[in-house]
């Protein structure tokens, strides 16, 4: 009705160019339009930040992006959801310093974070560079604890000629290509599928499946002839562990038999896991500190989180200070405080609430070192801040390699964590070693441990020779019988470059001499 009467007008970005807007309804004479509600100018991400008008704008932008990565209670139908990846927090809490938009967005019913007692204090250097110190006792009681679910699925397809996939335990005696060894299939039951509540680690098979051979498979020498099948079993990802949560047998769209298996992994916060407040103050856990080592107040309050004072001066996230003392007042009073943009609780009201509880309005308190029992020489700022656990967990990123697969083309280690790849020693890393003059390490990384290869070069003409199987010797195509062939150690990628240049009719010649 108000739209039809012209009282409310919906303007797009172009129309807004010619409007003169105000947020305050007290002085409207020189303005053309008045915002319906001041907080409504913010989007869904920014509207969950308490006191955002007191933060530097890039920090609000960062939080708008990070809010989407927070883990919480995304759906009440967690037992029936079929997302491939899903996280669920064990004990999510609604923030005690909230905004009007949080209820509209459903974050009061399905929250994505927890209220933490936060002190701004260094801790032996374990919270430098934005790291945070978290109380191990709080973690043991369930702070930041989440479940990670991953769904694995396999379908039995029908092929032309009456052949089809079978769900079964592959047998070594049945001429099966890609057989993974008896240990990998140890958890499977008679139907070829793992049982619920079975613990599984990386490489364990969840669904045993064999498939008929591919139509035009490449010819393989030295392999037993006769009918064979391929092992196409589905296993747990190499870097993951968990417990089988649910096993569902269903039908695919094509009418074939299909299994869906959900694996559950409990993620307890550990060093390297990422957390963030609602003000763009993100950081990873630097240490899980023992309860008895953490600082405490005269009342015996021990903080859950310690963050470094250096996180504030340059970033100017004053909104986090305001949330901290508002949270403190709200916890003492037992009510929620509103921190909505432009219309949140005024600091005067918070001051009354804090002083009424016998606390300082500054938010600072005398604290004692848990290790020495002595009071700190200065007062410590402490309050209640809402922290979000983000889905960047060290368990999903940790990666190391000693030996492993190499690429077929370049003979160099494969790339990426999923393939068990190597860590790239790049140009800049190489330059650092050159600057140090560390020639042996340089050779070790770039040649010996990468793609060292022996090639045979004709000393007379400098071209690469080849091995003649019939004559049982190395032969140079150009020099013939006059050739003198010697072995040279090079990177396989260099040998590849030489051959690619030769394919373009460019003949690179190697001038070789005795190895020193």
Whole-angstrom distance, CA of residue 187 vs CA of residue 53: 56
* Residues 273, 389 contacting (CB under 8 angstroms): yes
Q: Are 420 and 239 in contact (CB under 8 A)?
A: no
Identify the pLDDT of residue 225.
59
> Which tokens go with 457?
């070069």
Active-site annotation holder among 109, 130, 265, 396: 130
Domain ranges of the chain: 2-36, 52-75+90-144+275-389, 147-267
Alpha helices in 278-346 (DSSP H): 318-333
pLDDT at 451: 93
Q: What is the dihedral of CA 383, 387, 392, 398, to 10 degrees?
A: 40
Residue 130 a catalytic site member: yes
Confidence at residue 160, expressed as pLDDT on a 0 to 100 scale: 84
CA angle 171, 250, 159 (to 5 degrees): 55
Relative orientation angle of helices 347-356 and 318-333, to the nearest 10 degrees? 40
Helix, strand, or coil (residue 455): strand
Q: Where are the alpha helices (DSSP H) in 375-426?
A: none
- Provide the CATH number for the domain formed by 52-75+90-144+275-389 in this structure: 2.40.270.10
Contact assessment for residue 22 and residue 30, using Cβ atoms and an 8 Å cutoff = no
Of 253, 264, 254, the closest CA to residue 206 belongs to: 264
Give yes or no for a contact between 161 and 167, defined as CB atoms under 8 angstroms apart.
no
Per-residue model confidence as pLDDT tens digits over 161-191: 888 899 999 988 888 888 898 899 999 999 9
Residue 390: predicted pLDDT: 96
State the number of CA atoms in the 13 A half-sphere of 491 facing the CB.
14
pLDDT of residue 172: 81
Which CATH code, of 2.40.50.140, 3.30.300.180, 2.40.50.150, 3.20.20.100, is assigned to 147-267?
2.40.50.150
Tens digit of pLDDT at every position of the chain (516 positions):
788 898 899 888 899 899 998 888 887 888 988 888 888 889 999 999 999 999 999 999 999 999 999 999 888 888 888 889 999 999 999 999 999 999 999 999 999 999 999 999 999 999 999 999 999 999 999 999 999 999 999 999 988 888 889 999 998 888 888 889 889 999 999 999 999 999 999 889 999 999 998 764 554 555 555 678 899 999 999 889 999 999 999 998 888 899 999 999 999 999 999 999 999 999 999 999 999 999 999 999 999 999 999 999 999 999 999 999 999 999 999 999 999 999 888 999 999 999 999 999 999 999 999 999 999 999 999 999 999 999 999 999 999 998 899 999 999 999 998 888 999 999 999 999 999 999 999 999 999 999 999 999 999 999 999 888 888 888 998 888 888 999 999 999 999 999 999 999 999 999 998 887
Relative to beta strand 485-491, strand 452-458 is: antiparallel
**How far from 48 is each of 65, 249, 328, CA to CA, in Å?**
12, 41, 19
From start to end of 321-404, where are the E strands?
A: 337-338, 364-365, 367-368, 380-389
Report DSSP letters for 43-57, one per residue.
-TTGGGSSSGGGS-H
């Amino acid at each position: 009705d108000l739209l039809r009467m012209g009282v409310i007008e919906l303007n797009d970005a172009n129309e807004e160019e010619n409007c003169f807007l105000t947020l305050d309804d007290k002085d409207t004479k020189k303005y053309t339009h008045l915002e319906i509600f001041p907080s409504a100018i913010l989007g869904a991400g920014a509207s969950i930040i308490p006191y955002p008008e007191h933060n530097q704008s890039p920090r609000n932008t960062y939080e708008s992006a990070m809010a989407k990565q927070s883990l919480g209670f995304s759906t009440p139908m967690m037992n029936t959801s079929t997302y491939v990846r899903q996280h669920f927090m064990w004990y999510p809490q609604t923030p005690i310093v909230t905004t009007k938009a949080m209820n509209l967005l459903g974050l009061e019913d399905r929250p994505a974070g927890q209220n933490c007692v936060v002190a701004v204090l260094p801790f032996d250097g374990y919270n430098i560079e934005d790291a945070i110190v978290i109380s191990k006792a709080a973690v043991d009681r369930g702070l930041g604890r989440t479940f990670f679910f991953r769904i694995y699925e396999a379908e039995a397809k029908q092929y032309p000629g009456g052949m089809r996939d079978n769900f079964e335990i592959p047998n070594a005696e049945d001429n099966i290509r890609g057989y993974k060894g008896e240990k990998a299939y140890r958890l499977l039951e008679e139907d070829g599928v793992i049982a619920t509540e079975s613990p599984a680690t990386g490489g364990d098979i969840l669904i045993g499946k064999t498939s008929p051979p591919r139509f035009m498979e490449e010819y393989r020498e030295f392999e037993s002839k006769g009918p064979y099948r391929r092992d196409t079993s589905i296993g747990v990802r190499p870097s993951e562990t968990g417990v089988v949560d649910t096993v569902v047998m269903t039908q695919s769209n094509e009418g074939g038999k299909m299994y869906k298996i959900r694996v559950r992994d409990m993620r307890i916060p550990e060093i390297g896991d990422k957390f963030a407040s609602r003000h763009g103050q993100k950081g990873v856990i630097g240490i899980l500190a023992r309860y008895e080592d953490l600082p405490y107040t005269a009342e015996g309050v021990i903080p859950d989180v310690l963050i470094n004072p250096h996180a504030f001066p340059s970033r100017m996230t004053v909104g986090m200070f305001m949330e901290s003392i508002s949270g403190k007042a709200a916890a003492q009073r037992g009510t929620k405080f509103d921190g909505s943009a432009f219309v949140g609780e005024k600091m005067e009201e918070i001051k009354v609430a804090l002083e009424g509880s016998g606390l300082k309005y500054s938010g600072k308190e005398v604290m004692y070192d848990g290790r020495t029992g002595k009071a700190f020489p200065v007062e410590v700022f402490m309050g209640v801040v809402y922290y979000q656990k983000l889905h960047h967990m060290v368990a999903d990123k940790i990666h190391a390699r000693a030996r492993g697969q190499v690429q077929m083309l370049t003979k160099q280690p494969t790339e990426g964590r999923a393939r068990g790849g190597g860590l790239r020693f790049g140009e800049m890393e190489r330059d650092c070693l050159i600057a140090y003059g560390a020639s042996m390490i340089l050779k070790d990384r770039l040649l010996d441990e990468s793609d060292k290869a022996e090639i045979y070069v004709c000393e007379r003409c400098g071209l690469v020779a080849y091995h003649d199987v019939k004559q049982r010797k190395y032969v140079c195509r150009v020099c013939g019988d006059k050739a003198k062939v010697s072995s040279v150690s090079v990177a396989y990628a260099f040998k590849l470059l030489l051959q690619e240049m030769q394919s373009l009719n460019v003949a690179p010649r190697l001038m070789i001499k005795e190895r020193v």
